[in-house]
Amino acid sequence: MEWAWLIPVLSFAAVPVIIVLGRFLTGKVSHRSAAALAIAAILGGFIVFWFVFAGFLAADTDTPGCETGVGTEALTCNYKLTWFEAGIPDALTDSFDRIHLEWGILVDPLTIAMLGLATFVALMVQIYSLGYMHGDPRLDWYYAFHALFIASMLTLVLADNFLLLYIAWELVGLCSYLLIGFWHERPEPREAAKKAFIVTRIGDVGLLVGILLLWSHVGSFSMLETFAAIEAGELSEGVVTISALLLFLGAMGKSAQFPFHVWLPDAMEGPTPVSALIHAATMVAAGVYLVARAFPIFSESQTALYIVASIGLITALGAATIALVATDLKRILAYSTISHLGLMMLSLGALGYTAAIFHLLAHGFAKALLFLGAGSVMHSTEELDVRKMGGLRKVMPITAILFSIGALSLGGIPILAGFWSKDEILIAVNKELPLIFIVLTLLTALLSALYMARAMFVVFYGKFAEQFEHVHDAPKTMSITMGLLAIFAIVFGLVALDLPGPFKGIGYFIFYHEGHGLEFVIWLAALSIVLAIAAFIYGYMAYARKSVNLEGARQRFALPLKVAEGKYYIDELYQWSIDRVVLSFSRFIAWIDRALVNDVGINGPADVTRLLGHGLRRHVTGYVYSYALAMALGLIGLAILWWIVST
Amino acid sequence: MSNLDQVALLLIILVPLAGAGLSMLLPRNRPEDAWYFAIFVSAITLVLSVLLFVRYDFEAGGYQFVRVYEWLDAPLNIDLYLAMDGIAAPLVLLNGIVLFGAVLISQTIKHRSRDFFVLLLALGSGVFGVFVVQDLFFLFFFYELAVLPMYLLIGVWGSSTYFDSDRQRLWGLPIRFDLGSYNRLKEYGAMKLMLVLVAGSVLIWVGILAMYVASGQVAEATFSLVDLGALSSAGEFSPAFQTWVFPLFMIGFGVLAGLWPFHTWSPDGHVAAPTGVSMLHAGVLMKLGAFGIIRVGMVLLPEGAQDPLFYAGDFGVSWMAILIIMGTVNVVYGAISAMSQRDLKYIIGYSSVSHMGYVIMGIATLHPVGLTGAVLQMFSHGIMTALMFAMVGAIYERTHIRDITVLNGLMKRMGFASFFFAIAGLASLGLPGLSGFVAEFMVFTGAFKTYLPLAVLAVVGAALTAIYILRLLARTFFGEADPRWEHLTDASPVEKTVGGAFVLILLFVGVWPAPFTRVINVGVESVLQLF
Amino acid sequence: MVPLEAFQVLSAVLFAIGLYGVMARRSAVLIVMSIELMLNAVNINLIAAASHLDGMGNWANFDGQIIAIFIITVAAAEVGLAMAIILRMYRNRATVNVDEINLMKW
Amino acid sequence: MSWFLFIVLSILTLGGGLGVVVTRNVVHAALFLLVSLVAVAGLYLILFAEFLALVQVLIYGGAIIIVLLFAIMLTRSAEYPRISDNRQWPLAAVAAAAVGVVLGAAFLDNSLPQTEPNSPTFGDLANSLFTTWAIPFEVASLVLLVALIGAIIIARTGEDNR
């Protein structure tokens, strides 16, 4: 288990090797070696993960480095190595006079879960990319960025101190920038990448401020020490709330919570495997992970929890409505991701720690599958507008089936993974939050089933779009990876049940405070099953069979529809405020710098000196008679002076 | 080796100076000879600076490599007192590296190249002198030796900027700002830089003389920093005296550090200067100012720095509080100004102003971590900004364009230059794993413990950096390759060497800053004992 | 008897007139003439004082007359030189107006 | 009688002076100057300074005016009949008047005990000049000589024009 650090380091190590090899090898050799290296690195990580997992299940509090976690009975193992120190090293009196930074890893159930998800999805995506990105001229860079991306994400989930987490956090942001903007020749990916980086960076400011605020009260960046200090009540209620909210600001940026969700749909401009990675395993999961990781802080502040839940619900509902009317297949999936991330945040806000992580995992597998499916469609048809598609199952049956599994899973059809995790969230919300929350959550669940049905039926079922006559199904590398993901999307939900063996079921593995078995509220489960099935049946009627006419509804709800299709005009608002406020302000400041600080403040004295010189030299006329006059005036002046003095 | 230790500090000052002198003997009409000779000289200084840094014993701490060469006896008492402490050590190394890089990059200087390298080496010698000299008279002497060649270097080898008018509306209102219609002649940049810096020098000189006279009233008058420091810690200088002398040093040195609102010489100077000079200027010279505030201002006048001048509520406003406010303004203001610039060099110039703000903030926190961060930021920013200027120089050399509204898609033709620039840019926006993050983060840490609201503002400023750096990268390097750039060649071997080496340094400091922090720590510790 | 004050006031007025000439005229010739007027004003003053104050206190004997002689001598020399300079000026610059002689002015 | 002479001579002196500084014609100015200088010689006579009166007429009225007229003739300029004053003349007038007032007031304010006008004999004058004032006298002659040579050198034409 001490070797868990190998998981990210393998991928990190692959990065410079790929880049350097890329300079010396050319063409296909370089591409193949790059792909092989990256895949080998992540495969190695995946294998190490299983050893770590096994080691963790076998470990107890007697294992070196392991003890019971803070605020939870779960086992937490911590291994560290000094990185550097700054300030006065042996200041015994005041621990705030120095910082002691470590490369440290923290292995606990949350980390294990995230490691498993990230390594597996990344492995699948990288293999898938072999087919999808085939022939791209910069494949070596693609794999280098990929390896860096996943390595950063793995570091993020392993970090045992906030600073290391922040470092990985920023690297994740950078890699998303590089990968979203991978096709930088076109302006849209370029802009989308910039947007993603800057929007998440705004959240990062909150994160960094929060981290430093915690440090300035605890004197350490270590998570465990921080949690212990908070649990011991060393920090005031206000500080805890504020730092929790600041951390949440970072999470909002990365997990695309309202109002920072705008970058995620635009990020669809990147290559589709990258979207799959971002949506399922890395970037957006980081926000949810952060809130879960810092749960001892959040759980101390009821206010913070409420805000987390509210933001989550707003995001979930808003994004679900947009997903229902979006026309771009990848954007439907993107808004669906936002919506589900909102559900996870909602769940965390409702103290549904297990449910949130469970849903993160279940959603991760399903969403990766969906994106790879969408990528497969796009790869074959080079079309993304769902209105132009239809009946594609005739030409790409494998993709159709696999995509459908993902959609059904995410839509909450029983026995598939999504059903179980969604059910847990509903239970948590029902238990902790007011009635309005559960009603809206159920509405979101309905909507999410509906838009998944729409995406699935419109694209793959119904009337066949003739222009796709000659389209082929996905190549093997792509379909095999999708198949593996589909297996997980089907069976992963079963971990919710109480299982025999050391694992015992997810409720006994990932938990806050203390473990618990499967909870099942019959009426809620029944209601969600009914809603999901009804949504899919309705979707089939409306989108595949076309037996339900939607035109009437469209006309009746013209205005709300327009608003939803306009994505609630949040992008426009941002654009306006950036163009009109930020950039104008910047120009204003630049003008101030030129006109006031420079031309008045700095050039001013110089100009005054010069003008003074110009003015004063006029009195030196060079005319004899002027001097004579000056002498006469001087004489008069002296006389007057003498007269004044003498009288 | 111990013999070398004895004279290493003297050598590191004299070698470039002697190199400058000997360069004058070279034939005028063979520019390559001057270049080779300058490489030879700066390579020696590089080796010496590395040696000094490595051999500085951070466990013993304090001043090391001490040598005193007596010069003038009483009543003047001026000696060439050489010593290096933990704060100076990384800066000496920085100057060694950047000077070498600047000389290499200046391969393209063909016009009167011999004279160019004479001045460049003299400048380098002055910078070394300021860092290692412990006597106010010689400190001022070397300070001027570092500053004065700038005028000629910019005035003779610089480049002028001509921009079309670029009028902008404010919030859609018909108020128009005339932003772009500036023709900044190189003579203007040189003259402004010179005048502003000399104005700062005047303040410093007044302060130095005040110290000399004040020391004469309690003991034998002296210029020696060591003796003055001893008098200061013995409480011989009254708080009132300290309070009025400290701002002389703070503003005087602050001008060179780009302290707002005395910063405008710096973008104009950077823009006009030739590449190698920009590197040295932004990379090392601006650090002299910040270093001077620590070495002279804080060490000699600790009470003047921290005694409250007046009270705003319960908060006693000292000169240090004023300094940190100005530093914060530097950070945010520089970043915002950089956002709407069009000229590559102006963007980097304003980013230097912004980044020097972190240094100033870190100094003014008077917090061990913050001050360590400030010194590390000096090193990190020196390398990063020198790298940026080097790559901008490479681009300008080939395209003769620096306007980012015109440049695009350079990545295709100039892969290496773009890559190096991007790394420097990422370091500049505080990306973890590169040196900028470690330093900025330490400054934030210090500031959070002392001036929380300003620290939050500074973090926001760091986020603003991302905006203008990404804007620059996206406009300049990404995008479809323009047919105009078909003929462009990528970075020359020399440029690749410099870029690659600097990138490695940035990475090294970012990943493993311990060799630097442990040296800086001991210096910072001894300074902060005075407070 | 005409009192000393009368001569003194006369000399003051003549001096003022000469001074005006020096200050107001452009031609070098006229400026020289005005200077002559001023010298004469001084001479009047000196000689009047010499004749009215003979043997009175410190103002003994007739030194005023002797100084007036010197003044006249110097005035003669001055006029001679001034005219030579004016001639040279005229020859070089074709003018005798002092405000057009500005070669050394900024 | 002496008052009458004084007033007449004063009017001539001041009128001549005013003429010098006011007239627009240079030649007229020289003639006005002649009037003024001769009137001053008359004033000397009232003061019983016969020798000075004689010198005044000979040197001023004769030599200096002649030299001035020669200079005017040699530098004949088209504008001589209608010369103009410079731009500062109003201010000059005020300043000159003020100086006059200051001087006059100073004289009137400090009246001295005085005797009847009297005069030394030629002999006394000569004695004083060649004994007490011998060195200044010699210096004055030297000044004259130097001025003479200087004037010649300055005004000379010829080889210096090459």
**Farthest-apart Cα atoms in chain A, separation:** 121
Q: For residue A99, which phi and psi values (nearest 5 degrees)?
A: -125, 140
pLDDT band at D62 (very low <50, low <70, confident <90, very high): confident
Q: Which of C30, C34, C35, C99 to substitute to test the interface with A, most A CBs within 10 Å?
A: C99
Partner-chain residue, chosen from B337, B445, B514, that has the shortest CB–CB distance to A589: B337
pLDDT band at B169 (very low <50, low <70, confident <90, very high): very low
D96 in a structural domain:
no
**Whose CA is closest to A372, among A438, A278, A236?**
A278
- Chain A nearest C-alpha distance from B426 (Å): 9
Q: D61 and D128 in one domain?
A: no
Return the percentage of chain B with pLDDT > 70, whole number.
95
D95 in a structural domain:
no
Residue A90 pLDDT: 63
D124 in a structural domain:
yes
Q: Which of D21, D84, D99 to substitute to test the interface with A, most A CBs within 10 Å?
A: D99
Collect all residues from A whose CB is shorter than 8 A from any CB in C: 617, 620-625, 628-629, 632
Chains C and D are touching, with contact defined as 3 or more CB–CB pairs separated by less than 8 Å: yes
Q: Is C95 buried (19+), middle (13-18) or exposed (0-12) by CB count in 10 A?
A: middle
Q: How remote is the C-alpha of C4 from its chain's centroid?
A: 20
- Asked if D135 reaches chain C (Cβ–Cβ under 8 Å), the answer is no
Copy the structure tokens of residue A505: 């079921």
**Contact state of B262 with A174 under an 8 Å Cβ cutoff:** no
- Asked if A540 reaches chain B (Cβ–Cβ under 8 Å), the answer is no
**Whose CA is closest to B132, among B76, B71, B77, B69?**
B69
Chains C and B are touching, with contact defined as 3 or more CB–CB pairs separated by less than 8 Å: no
Chain A neighbors of C23, CB-CB under 8 A: 625, 628-629, 632
pLDDT per position in chain C (106 positions), as tens? 788 888 999 999 999 999 999 988 888 888 999 999 999 999 999 888 888 876 665 555 678 888 899 999 999 899 989 988 888 888 888 888 887 776 666 5
Copy the structure tokens of residue B214: 């004040």
Q: D128 and D69 in one domain?
A: no
- Asked if A573 reaches chain D (Cβ–Cβ under 8 Å), the answer is no
- Asked if D153 reaches chain A (Cβ–Cβ under 8 Å), the answer is no
b/e map B195-233, b = 16+ CB within 10 Å: bbbebbbebbbebbebbbebbeeeeebbbbbbbbbebbe
**Contact state of D125 with C73 under an 8 Å Cβ cutoff:** no
**Contact state of C105 with A617 under an 8 Å Cβ cutoff:** no
Site of tokens 């005031």: A236
**Whose CA is closest to A240, among A166, A294, A186?**
A294
pLDDT band at D14 (very low <50, low <70, confident <90, very high): very high
Which one-letter amino acid corresponds to residue B19? Answer: G
> A623 to chain C: nearest residue by CA?
C99
Q: What does the CA dihedral B174, B179, B182, B187 come to, rounded to 10 degrees? A: 140
Chain C neighbors of A632, CB-CB under 8 A: 19, 23
Chain A neighbors of C99, CB-CB under 8 A: 623, 625
**Contact state of D98 with A629 under an 8 Å Cβ cutoff:** no
**Contact state of A632 with D96 under an 8 Å Cβ cutoff:** yes
d(CA B138, CA B295): 13
Q: D65 and D133 in one domain?
A: no
d(CA B484, CA A609): 46
> D98 to chain A: nearest residue by CA?
A636
**Contact state of B340 with A202 under an 8 Å Cβ cutoff:** no
**Whose CA is closest to C36, among A150, D61, B470?**
D61
SS3 (DSSP) at B479: coil
Residue B226 pLDDT: 87
- Asked if B369 reaches chain A (Cβ–Cβ under 8 Å), the answer is yes
Partner-chain residue, chosen from D86, D88, D99, that has the shortest CB–CB distance to A635: D99
Q: For residue A261, which phi and psi values (nearest 5 degrees)?
A: -80, -10
3-class SS shares of chain A: helix, strand, coil, % to 5: 75, 5, 20
d(CA D49, CA C77): 23
Residue that finishes a domain, picked among D80, D111, D141 = D80
d(CA A183, CA B479): 9
Residue C34 pLDDT: 92
A340 close to A412: Cβ distance less than 8 angstroms: no
Domains of chain C in start order, with CATH, are: 4-100 (1.10.287.3510)
- Chain D nearest C-alpha distance from C89 (Å): 9
**Contact state of D98 with A632 under an 8 Å Cβ cutoff:** yes
Partner-chain residue, chosen from A620, A623, A632, that has the shortest CB–CB distance to C98: A623
Whether the bond between B75 and the residue before it is cis, its omega within 30 degrees of 0, is yes
Most confident of A118-122, A468-472, B193-197, B201-205: B201-205
Q: Print the SS3 string covering A371-417.
A: HHHHHHHHHHHCCCEHHHCCCHHHCCHHHHHHHHHHHHHHHCCCCCH
- The per-residue pLDDT for range D137-158, each reduced to its tens digit, is 999 999 999 998 988 888 777 6
Q: Print the SS3 string covering A331-346.
A: HHHHHHHHHHHHHHHH
Chain B neighbors of A86, CB-CB under 8 A: 368-369, 372-373, 376, 442, 517, 520-521
> D102 to chain C: nearest residue by CA?
C12
| Mean pLDDT, chain B, whole residue set | 85
Copy the structure tokens of residue A211: 């981290």
D103 in a structural domain:
no
**Whose CA is closest to D44, among C47, C15, C2, C61?**
C47
Q: For residue C55, which phi and psi values (nearest 5 degrees)?
A: 75, 10
Chain D neighbors of A639, CB-CB under 8 A: 102, 106
Copy the structure tokens of residue B432: 């973890």
Chains touching chain A through at least 3 C-beta pairs below 8 angstroms are B, C, D
- Asked if A586 reaches chain B (Cβ–Cβ under 8 Å), the answer is yes
SS3 (DSSP) at D117: coil
Query: Which residue ranges of chain A lie beneath pLDDT 70?
Result: 27, 89-95, 499-503, 517-518, 548, 550, 566
Partner-chain residue, chosen from A83, A99, A589, that has the shortest CB–CB distance to B369: A99
pLDDT band at B171 (very low <50, low <70, confident <90, very high): very low
D21 in a structural domain:
yes
The answer to whether residue B98 scores a pLDDT higher than 90 is yes
Chains D and A are touching, with contact defined as 3 or more CB–CB pairs separated by less than 8 Å: yes
CATH code for the domain in which residue D62 is found: 1.20.120.1200
Residue B2 pLDDT: 66
Chains B and D are touching, with contact defined as 3 or more CB–CB pairs separated by less than 8 Å: no
Question: Mean of the pLDDT values across residues D118-130?
Answer: 81
Q: How remote is the C-alpha of B38 from its chain's centroid?
A: 22
Residue that finishes a domain, picked among D27, D52, D80 = D80
Chain A neighbors of B262, CB-CB under 8 A: 602
B357 close to B288: Cβ distance less than 8 angstroms: no
**Contact state of D17 with C37 under an 8 Å Cβ cutoff:** yes
Chain C neighbors of D43, CB-CB under 8 A: 7, 10, 44
**Contact state of A167 with B437 under an 8 Å Cβ cutoff:** yes
Count CB atoms within 10 A of the CB of residue D70: 12
**Contact state of D102 with A635 under an 8 Å Cβ cutoff:** yes
Chains touching chain B through at least 3 C-beta pairs below 8 angstroms are A
| Residue-range definition of the domain harbouring residue D6 | 1-80
Q: D73 and D1 in one domain?
A: yes
B476 close to B375: Cβ distance less than 8 angstroms: no
Residue B44 pLDDT: 92
**Contact state of B521 with A597 under an 8 Å Cβ cutoff:** no
- The per-residue pLDDT for range B276-290, each reduced to its tens digit, is 898 998 889 899 999
D11 in a structural domain:
yes
Query: What Cα–Cα distance (Å) separates residue B190 from each residue in B154, B197, B270, C16?
Result: 6, 11, 9, 55
Global pTM? 0.80
Partner-chain residue, chosen from A84, A174, A585, that has the shortest CB–CB distance to B513: A84
pLDDT band at B178 (very low <50, low <70, confident <90, very high): very low
B84 close to B477: Cβ distance less than 8 angstroms: no
**Contact state of A629 with D86 under an 8 Å Cβ cutoff:** no
- The per-residue pLDDT for range B387-428, each reduced to its tens digit, is 999 988 888 888 877 777 777 777 777 888 888 988 999 898
- The residues near D144 (Cβ < 8 Å, ≥ 6 apart) are C73, C76, C77
* Low-confidence winner among A292-296, A403-407, B138-142, B172-176 (lowest mean pLDDT): B172-176
The count of structural domains within chain D is 2
> C24 to chain D: nearest residue by CA?
D89
Q: D134 and D68 in one domain?
A: no
- Asked if D97 reaches chain A (Cβ–Cβ under 8 Å), the answer is no
Q: D130 and D61 in one domain?
A: no
Chain C neighbors of D117, CB-CB under 8 A: 1-2, 51-52
The answer to whether residue B269 scores a pLDDT higher than 50 is yes
Q: Which helix (H) or strand (E) holds A76?
A: strand A75-87
Q: D134 and D74 in one domain?
A: no
Query: What Cα–Cα distance (Å) separates residue B17 from each residue in A572, B31, B146, B281, D21?
Result: 60, 19, 11, 18, 70
- Asked if B170 reaches chain A (Cβ–Cβ under 8 Å), the answer is yes
Q: Which of A617, A623, A627, A631 to substitute to test the interface with C, most C CBs within 10 Å?
A: A623
**Whose CA is closest to A317, among A279, A290, A343?**
A343
Q: Which helix (H) or strand (E) holds A78?
A: strand A75-87
Partner-chain residue, chosen from B367, B432, B478, that has the shortest CB–CB distance to A190: B478
Question: Mean of the pLDDT values across residues B333-347?
Answer: 84
Question: Mean of the pLDDT values across residues D23-33?
Answer: 89
The answer to whether residue D35 scores a pLDDT higher than 90 is yes
- The residues near A7 (Cβ < 8 Å, ≥ 6 apart) are A45, A48, A49, A52, A115, A119, A154, A158
Q: Is D81 buried (19+), middle (13-18) or exposed (0-12) by CB count in 10 A?
A: exposed
Q: Which helix (H) or strand (E) holds B316?
A: strand B315-318
Copy the structure tokens of residue D129: 């000049």
Residue that finishes a domain, picked among D24, D59, D80 = D80
- Asked if A625 reaches chain D (Cβ–Cβ under 8 Å), the answer is yes
Q: Is C69 buried (19+), middle (13-18) or exposed (0-12) by CB count in 10 A?
A: buried
D8 in a structural domain:
yes
- Chain A nearest C-alpha distance from B153 (Å): 22
SS3 (DSSP) at B78: strand
Helix extents (H) in D49-121: 50-55, 65-74, 89-109
- The residues near A67 (Cβ < 8 Å, ≥ 6 apart) are A61, A75, A76, A77
D105 in a structural domain:
no
Residue B475 pLDDT: 80
Site of tokens 């008052």: D3
- Chain B nearest C-alpha distance from A173 (Å): 10
